[in-house]
Structures are given as structure tokens and as C-alpha cells.
Amino acid sequence: MSDTTLNLAERCFVWSELDTAQQQALLQRPTQKVSAALTQSVNEIVESVRQQGDAAVLRLTQKFDCPDLTELRYPAERIAAQVQQLAPETKAAIDTAYGTIRRFHEAQQPQAISVETAPGIECQMRYAPLSAVGLYVPGGTAVLPSTALMLGIPAQIAGCQRVVLVSPPDANGDLAPAILYAAQKCGITEIYRCGGAQAIAALAYGTESIAKVNKIFGPGNSYVTAAKQMVSQDPQGAAIDMPAGPSELLVIADADANPAFVAADLLSQAEHGSDSQVVLLSPAASQIEAVKNELYQQLSSLSRADIARQALANSALIEVADLAEAVAISQDYAPEHLSVQTANADALAEQLTHAGSLFIGPYTPESGGDYATGTNHVLPTYGFANTVSSLGLLDFYRRYTSQRATRDGLAGLAQAIVGLAEAEGLDAHARAVTIRLEQDI
């Protein structure tokens, strides 16, 4: 079995036969290769929205998504009419996913703490929901109502005061009924029809019709991700959740893994976008050969075969010396999704700490986490999973501290505070303590 436009034999490698530069080049993310051009084009879009507001957002939305759109805000009556059209089976699927995702996120409620750190000194850690959040639901090549749930549910549980959803409209100026139903379940009514870097700029800086938010959440293509990173560097812009760009999956499979399962998982992420990347690491040459054949076979029946094919051209099937080498490569690559299909999957997973989300064992397809296991599918890409956390309820809160000292408590700590202030040569810091203790109250 083969494919006329994809030669997977060219994407098969033996790790030990590559030098360090080749190993690095092999695992470079596709969008990182064009970052200079991308940055320039995103910068132009963000600047035009800052200067021209709604006019720029509308012009760019007309260019990329809907030529006749004249109003960004999605009217409530049109939302209601769209939701009516939703098929009952899709509604039921959304209802089930809403339940599992809500259950997992409700269990993440932060607990305020209060600790007496020294006699008469009380320190608290408190949490406040973010007041205005913007949720980006991708809609370029596929509409993703599941992302509306992943973002809307934690915002709803946290109790954020203002929750705004943006998503690119179709050519008729509509959003998919499933996105609107998911938004409705999450209590979101402020919805705008725009996408890409222009939507991110509008959320970050505000326009005539879209008021600015404090933090922007959600995945997107490389334009969206670059725009998020750009606005988050600007004190007048907005905070962001994380760089959640084109989808990635790394699978570690031993000789006994089922190659049909492995190939299906790889294709599930390859079909997201031509800039997605999937990687297989296996110590068994026979497994790599079998997965390669399965990929050809399964690819031919996919509706998005062309996209998956392009993603596979940026991907790699790599033979490693052993599972220890697979762990080392995976830790270095830090994939968004990591599937472990080996005999000792649970034990191996303990060592795999650099991944957005782990999928352990043969019956845990990556797509389960995309939709309905309950974990959040908004995850760090580009290797940021070595430091950046996966999206969770806490991201919708701000954590801050408070403290309260009694006079005796302050007296007890005075020597430490004054001693450190003197060591740093900061007299006023010391005086703020001594002045209090010199006075009788």
C-alpha cells in the first residue's frame, strides 16, 4: 500500500544514525520555521486593529471568513434560531461532554489558606475570579464546539463576571449551532463573529463594539497564537493562557502495541492542520513498518486526507534504542499530547512529566481527551509543556496574598525585618517597623 503524494519511507528514521543537528531539525515544529514572516504579518494586523478598531476587524473578517459581514456582535435572536437547528444527537454528545468536563474542573476548586507563620502573624492565600475573559474558539478549517466547552466551563465555574466568546464566522456570517449551544450551556451571551489575529487584537485592546478583556484564552492556528503572544508582551494588551498552537501528538509504542490504534491516533492529530506534527517513537522496527502501512491505509478514507498528508510530511516515525531513549526524546520534545502504548504504560508514564496531557494504555485514544474524558484539551504546544501547565480552573482566577500582624507579632519579627532592611541599606523600610514599636497605642 502506498500514497501517490506522500512517501512515508522518507519520514522514517533511526535516532542513533542522526547527528545532533539532524535530531534537532527533525523535531522542529513546522510553524517555528516561518516565524519571522508570521510575526511581521501578525504585527500588521494587530496594529491595524489598534488604530482602526471595528473597521479593521470587519475588513479582515470579510477578507478571511465572510465577505458580506457588516456587524461583529452576534444578535441574540439569530443565536436562538441557530441553536434550534442543532441535531438532537449532537446536543446529547455536548450534554455528556459538559458533564464530564464540569465534574473534572469542579474538583479543581482552589482553597484559600490562612497560616500563622510566627506568633501574631497571619498570612492568607486568596483567589478571585478574573473579571473579564475572552474565549477564542477556532473555526478556520474545522469548527470546534468542544473548545467552547473547554473554555466556557471553567469560566462558568470560576464565576468570571464578563465572558466573551469570539470565533470566525462561516461565509454566511454564522457560527456553528453546536458552538452556540455549548456557549449557551456555559451561560455565555456576548458573542462576536471574528477570528484570527484581528479577533485577539480586538479582545486585547478593545474596539468600538468589543470592550477590552483582561485575559485571553483558547487555542488557534499560528496567526492566533502569535497574536496572543504579541498582546501579552504589551502592558496595555491582555494576559493570555498559554501558547496553544497547532496540534501535536507523540506516541511511544513498543513491539506489542496495536499498529492500527497507533496510526489512528497519529492521524487524529494530523488531520487538524497542515502545520500539525505527529511523532512515533518505538524500539521495534517492525512496529514502525506496521504503523507506516496502517497510516497509508487509514489515510485514504479520511475526509481531511489532504491536510493529514501535509502534516505527515512534517512528522516522523523514529526507531529508538530502547524505551529509556524514547523517554529522553519525549521529555526534550515536550509534546502537547503524549500517548503511551507499551506493556508497562503506567510505570513509564511516571517518568513522562513534560507533556500537556498523557493518554495511557491502548484504550485511551487521544481524541477521548479532545472531547469527553473530562480533562481540558487546551494544552501548551511548541515544547512549552516543559514549563507551562495545561489549562485548568485555576487559570480563571487570580491568586493573591494578604497578611495581618498584631503589635506583639510585629515586635517578634522586628529583628528580622530591620536586620534585612539594614543589610539592603533601605532605612525607610526599617523605620516603618521601628516607628510603630516606639509608639504606645
Ligand X SMILES: N[C@H](CO)Cc1c[nH]c[nH+]1
Residues designated as active site: 336-337
Q: How far apart are CA 148 and CA 155, in angstroms?
A: 11
Element housing 155 (H / E): helix 145-158
Using CB under 5 A as the criterion, what x/- string covers residues 378-417 for binding Zn ion?
----------------------------------------
The one of ligand NAD, ligand X, Zn ion, none whose footprint includes residue 146, by CB under 5 to 8 A per kind, is ligand X
Contact with Zn ion (CB under 5 A): which of 265, 275, 370, 395?
Answer: 370
**In this structure, which amino acid lies at residue 399?**
R
Beta bridge partners of 248: 277
Q: Cα(213)–Cα(43) distance, rounded to whole angstroms?
A: 20
Our measurement of the distance from residue 204's CA atom to the centroid of its chain's CA atoms, rounded to an integer in Å, reads 18
Q: By CB under 6 A, name the one of 31, 146, 282, 357 that touches ligand X.
A: 146
User: Which of the stretches 110-118, 144-152, 314-322, 398-406 binds ligand X when contact is defined by CB under 6 A?
Assistant: 144-152
335 binds, among Zn ion, ligand NAD, ligand X, none (CB under 5 to 8 A by kind): none
Site for ligand X in 87-106 (CB under 6 A): none
Q: Long-range contacts: 365-368, Cβ < 8 Å, 24+? A: 365/261, 365/264, 365/265, 365/268, 366/249, 366/265, 366/268, 366/269, 366/337, 366/339, 367/265, 367/268
DSSP state of 325: H
Q: Is residue 161 part of an annotated ligand binding site?
A: no
Residue 265 engages ligand X in binding (rule: CB under 6 A): no
Cβ closest to ligand NAD, residue 72 vs residue 421: 72
105 annotated ligand binder: no
DSSP state of 249: E
Cα–chain center distance at 263: 24
Site string for ligand X, 232-251 (x = CB under 6 A): ---------------x----
| Residues making contact with ligand NAD (CB under 6 A) | 41, 64-65, 138-142, 144, 147, 168, 195-197, 219-221, 223-224, 244-247, 272-273, 276, 336, 377-379, 381
Strands of 231-365, DSSP E = 239-240, 248-253, 277-282, 316-319, 337-341, 357-360
Q: Which of residues 241, 275, 294, 370 is near ligand X by CB under 6 A?
A: 370
Summarize the annotated binding site as residue ranges.
136, 198, 221, 247, 269, 272, 337, 370, 424, 429
Contact positions vs ligand X (CB under 6 A): 144, 146-147, 247, 269, 272, 336, 370, 377
